[in-house]
């Protein structure tokens, strides 16, 4: 079973035109009022749910089960119990309890991940020192990104957040910013690191050892000020205090791990006490419980408003709870239950919500209609259930409703784009080579070209990029602060536009691959197992990586769509892209790719001398690798 969220607005067409603006304002005020009430009443229950689930096996408590026992064996703490304490309608509480329990589980998941980080740091003290000094550990980031199957930046942000919570009070007293390492400390650290290598070294380890030996031959460190070895090589300030090293060793970015290892070893003794303390740290104190009251903000407000009456009643929360059809002692929204609301959408095209202020009577309520959006109209007639509703805190008086549906994954996947037919050869396996945006964005082993709508989408992307560059030039050129702010807003809007274009562009490419599979009758899709990040890159390379449709989930979803459309089993296989664009599949020769000679997309072969499309060659090569041992990623 899968959950999908769809957002739609409130329809006010049944109101006269001159009344719609005032109705919007009243709705926005009502939602703001009930959001405060909702957060206040849910805070206590969030703590009770979290404290119990932390000590229990949370997998036994389904997210969608609002009547699970979560009160330590003292009775059921589900919808019925919440209804007694808060005093609300049962159908409202189903939605609120689901959102509350989901948030608590997310908190517990982060707690477990932080515990794993601490256990790893206890066993890898040099990485722990790197984390303390520079808020991150590149090696640890790679380990946990692969272990948790998450993005690299997710681990980086999590480690930074925990670092700020735990080490924030000592940030200004770190030894690396107080003193410079002595000559003896530096040489001793190099000796310790060299002693850890055995005779059997890989090529990367040999290169690392050679760099250490070069550093050891220098007679002086030449450090003229504090240096941050976590800064990237294209930031000049990262090397400005190491001019002697830059001149003697021809420094570039690959030297960064060398300096991190040496300085971590130098400062290892300074942090022995802290390493021992971290073993007894309470992880739950480093992360904020959902809807927890922000005491620091309260203290600040109390100092600034000493003479304000009733200041004790002010409560500030880290995360305000969006209104999930649950509020204070007097509920302020009336609606039908989930099942009847879905039936009304199917029969008459909408259902009604009634809004009122807490102090008003129901005869003064505002009745508005919730109509399904275009995407929702495609799926509401399938075998799905409406699980909950969410009312968002309004921006500019527009109130949006989120409807959360539950059903099989295939029910939420559209297959309309697969009804079109294209003329291709019949094959059993399709291999695709993924590249930067352009003519060869996605190339398969079939003789087909990208359709015009995808090429047009790429052209729109170029237009947005040109506008961003022009506005950034104008923003840097002007000295008028007002104009700078205007240009900044325009640039932000264009970046949102670029993000939407990129998302749509990648989706169109995946749909194009699915259409090829249906037309060719293939039952297997082979893609490259890529792990490419823009981290540490800039300029044309960063833009090229950003434009690549290399997200595996795109093609996994497309495989499900093809399965649903054709009714036959489709297999998704990920294989290594190593040498796929370098070896000619016809003769086994080497393809000489060269950017400077404009021989990257079309390159000559060293054996037969033919000019070969390297991307088409890579797609055919990926299919040919299936004859050897494989480890398919079967969905």
Q: What is the pLDDT of residues 36-87, one digit of tens each?
A: 665 665 555 655 655 655 555 444 333 334 344 444 333 344 555 555 554 5
Same domain for 17 and 148, yes or no, is yes
* 232 and 289 co-located in one domain: no
Measure the CA angle with vertex 433, ends 429 and 439; round to 5°.
120
Residues 6+ apart with CB under 8 A from 113: 144, 148, 158
Contact, 126 vs 257, CB < 8 A? no
Tokens coding 320: 């305000």
pLDDT value at position 198?
65
Query: What is the distance between the terminal CA atoms of the chain, rounded to a whole angstrom?
Result: 15
Q: Which domain holds residue 129?
A: 9-174+284-368
Are 170 and 224 part of one and the same domain? no
- Tell me the torsion sign for CA atoms 484, 485, 486, 489: positive
Q: Is 337 part of any domain?
A: yes
Residue 93 and residue 17 share a domain: yes
Residues 261 and 346 placed together within one structural domain of the fold:
no
Q: Where a domain ends, among 347, 368, 389?
A: 368
382 is a domain residue: no
Tally of CB atoms within 10 A around 22? 11
Q: Is residue 403, in this structure, part of any structural domain at all?
A: no
Q: Would you state the pLDDT for residue 513?
A: 92
pLDDT digits (tens, 9 = 90+) for 488-515: 999 999 999 999 999 999 999 999 999 9
Shared domain for 234 and 289, answered yes or no, is no
Q: Is residue 344 part of a domain?
A: yes
Does residue 81 fall inside a structural domain? yes
Q: Assess whether pLDDT exceeds 50 at residue 235.
A: no
pLDDT of residue 267: 63
Domain boundary among 368, 397, 417: 368
- How much of the chain, in percent, has pLDDT values that exceed 90? 9
Same domain assignment for residues 19 and 55: yes
Q: Are residues 215 and 361 in the same domain?
A: no
The pLDDT value recorded for residue 199 is: 65
The pLDDT value given to residue 58:
43
What local confidence, expressed as pLDDT, does residue 71 receive? 40
Structural domain includes residue 76: yes
| Across 176-190, 294-308, 484-498, least confident range | 294-308
- Is 50 exceeded by the pLDDT of residue 246? yes
Task: Provide the mean pLDDT of the chain.
Answer: 73
Does residue 473 carry a pLDDT above 90? yes
Is residue 289 included in any domain, yes or no?
Answer: yes
Query: Residue 272 domain-assigned?
Result: no
pLDDT tens-digit readout, 75-131: 344 555 555 554 544 444 555 555 666 666 777 788 788 888 888 887 887 777 777
* Alpha helices (H) along 173-294: 175-178, 183-195, 203-217, 243-249, 256-266, 272-278
pLDDT at 67: 40
Query: Hey, which of 185-199, 270-284, 450-464 has the most confident mean pLDDT?
Result: 450-464
Q: CB–CB of 403/341 below 8 Å?
A: no
3-state DSSP helix/strand/coil percent for the chain, to nearest 5?
55, 10, 35
Chain centroid, CA 425 distance in Å: 38
| Same-domain check for residues 170 and 193 | no
pLDDT: which is higher, 253 or 529: 529
For the CA atoms of 494, 495, 498, 504, the dihedral, rounded to the nearest 10 degrees, stands at -120
Asked if 287 and 281 count as a contact pair (C-beta separation under 8 A), the reply is no
| Number of structural domains in the chain | 3
Q: Are residues 137 and 112 in the same domain?
A: yes
Residue 176 binned pLDDT confidence (cut-offs 50, 70, 90): very low
321-364: pLDDT as tens digits = 555 554 333 456 777 878 888 899 999 989 888 888 878 888 88
Q: Residue 243 has what pLDDT?
A: 55
Domain boundary among 197, 232, 266: 266
Shared-domain flag, residues 359 and 504 = no
386's enclosing H/E stretch is: strand 384-391
Is residue 608 pLDDT above 60, yes or no?
A: yes
> Which of 252-261, 560-569, 618-627 is most confident?
560-569
Q: Are residues 257 and 311 in the same domain?
A: no
Q: Residues of the chain with pLDDT > 70: what percent?
A: 62
Report the pLDDT value the prediction gives residue 62, as an integer from 0 to 100. 35
């Amino acid at each position: 079973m899968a959950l999908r969220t769809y957002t739609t607005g409130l329809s006010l067409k049944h109101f006269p035109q001159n009344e719609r603006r005032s109705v919007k304002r009243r709705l926005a005020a009502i939602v703001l009022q009930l959001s405060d009430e909702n957060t206040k009443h849910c805070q206590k229950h969030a703590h009770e749910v979290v404290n119990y689930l932390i000590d229990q096996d949370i997998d036994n408590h389904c997210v969608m089960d609002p009547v699970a026992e979560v009160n330590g064996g003292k009775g059921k703490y589900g919808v019925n119990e919440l209804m007694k304490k808060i005093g609300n309608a049962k159908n409202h509480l189903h939605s609120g309890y689901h959102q509350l329990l989901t948030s608590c589980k997310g908190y517990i998941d982060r707690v477990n991940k932080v515990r794993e980080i601490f256990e790893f740091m206890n066993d890898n003290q040099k990485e722990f020192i790197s984390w303390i000094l520079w808020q991150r550990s590149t090696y640890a980031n790679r380990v946990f990104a692969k272990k948790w199957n998450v993005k690299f930046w997710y681990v980086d942000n999590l480690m930074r957040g925990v670092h700020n919570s735990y080490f924030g009070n000592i940030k200004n007293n770190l030894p690396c910013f107080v003193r410079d390492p002595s000559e003896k400390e530096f040489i001793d650290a190099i000796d310790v690191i060299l002693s850890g290598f055995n005779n059997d070294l890989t090529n990367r380890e040999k290169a690392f050892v050679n760099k250490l030996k070069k550093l050891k031959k220098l007679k002086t460190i030449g450090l003229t000020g504090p240096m941050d070895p976590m800064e990237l090589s294209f930031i000049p300030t990262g090397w400005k205090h190491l001019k002697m090293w830059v001149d003697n060793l021809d420094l570039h970015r690959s030297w960064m791990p060398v300096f991190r290892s040496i300085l971590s070893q130098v400062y290892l003794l300074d942090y022995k006490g802290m390493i021992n303390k971290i073993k007894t740290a309470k992880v739950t104190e480093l992360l904020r419980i959902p809807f927890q009251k922000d005491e620091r903000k309260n203290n600040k407000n109390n100092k600034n408003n000493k003479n304000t009456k009733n200041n004790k009643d002010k409560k500030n929360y880290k995360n305000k709870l969006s209104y999930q059809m649950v509020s204070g002692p007097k509920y302020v929204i009336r609606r039908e239950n989930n099942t009847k609301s879905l039936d009304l959408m199917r029969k008459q095209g909408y259902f009604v919500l009634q809004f009122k202020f807490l102090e008003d009577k129901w005869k003064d309520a505002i009745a508005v209609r919730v109509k399904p959006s275009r995407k929702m109209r495609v799926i509401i007639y399938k075998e799905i259930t409406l699980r909950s509703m969410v009312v968002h805190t309004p921006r500019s008086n527009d109130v949006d409703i989120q409807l959360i549906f539950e059903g099989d994954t295939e029910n939420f996947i559209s297959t309309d784009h697969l009804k079109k037919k294209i003329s291709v050869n019949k094959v059993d396996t399709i291999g695709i080579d993924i590249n930067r945006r352009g003519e060869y964005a996605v190339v398969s082993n079939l003789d087909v070209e990208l359709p015009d709508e995808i090429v047009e989408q790429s052209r729109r992307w170029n237009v947005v990029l040109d506008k961003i560059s022009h506005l950034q030039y104008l923003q840097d050129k002007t000295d008028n602060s007002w104009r700078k702010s205007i240009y900044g807003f325009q640039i932000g809007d264009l970046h949102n536009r670029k993000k939407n274009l990129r998302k749509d562009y990648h989706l169109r490419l995946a749909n194009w691959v699915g259409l090829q599979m249906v037309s060719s009758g293939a039952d297997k899709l082979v893609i490259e197992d890529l792990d490419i990040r823009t981290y540490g890159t800039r300029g044309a390379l960063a833009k090229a990586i950003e434009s690549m449709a290399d997200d595996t989930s795109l093609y996994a979803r497309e495989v499900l769509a093809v399965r649903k459309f054709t009714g036959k089993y489709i297999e998704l296989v990920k294989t290594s892209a190593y040498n796929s664009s370098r070896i000619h599949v016809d003769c086994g020769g080497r393809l000489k790719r060269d950017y400077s000679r404009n021989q990257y997309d079309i390159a000559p072969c060293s054996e037969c001398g033919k000019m070969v499309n390297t991307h088409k060659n890579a797609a055919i090569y990926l299919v040919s690798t299936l004859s050897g041992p494989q480890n398919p990623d079967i969905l």
